Structure 1
Amino acid sequence: MKISRPADVPTSEHPLLNDGVQHVIEVLQRLRFGVIQLTVHDGKLMQVDVTERRRFGN
């Protein structure tokens, strides 16, 4: 999955690309199996919990 921001909009000026959302994008790019849980308060991303699942063959 490739997620990117518009090249002409700096991260600091883009309302959706704060540090938390940027972290979610980075986790999505490297996570193979697992869960990403977002905690939102008053419409703002407050916490990101990542649970990665690792599966081992027999």
Structure 2
Amino acid sequence: MSLFSQSIAEKLKLAANKELAQRYARRQEHAREVQDRRGRTVTVVKVQRSNRSNGLLDD
């Protein structure tokens, strides 16, 4: 592998790591710590709830 392609590969690897670090930081902004029933601390990152349905009124 030539020096040129090696430097490109290193730059791509650094860019990917930087993107992952940014994603992780964004995720941690929304994270919160709660305690479960046993009293252990759990980090909740994101909770999405769908609309609740009883199944009878849906079309």
Would the TM-score normalized by the shorter structure come out above 0.5? no
TM-score (norm 1): 0.28
Report 1 or 2 for greater relative contact order, CA contacts < 8 Å, sequence distance ≥ 6: 1
Compare the two structures and name the one with the higher helix fraction: 2
TM-score (norm 2): 0.27
Compare the two structures and name the one with the higher strand fraction: 1
* Structure possessing the higher radius of gyration over alpha carbons: 2
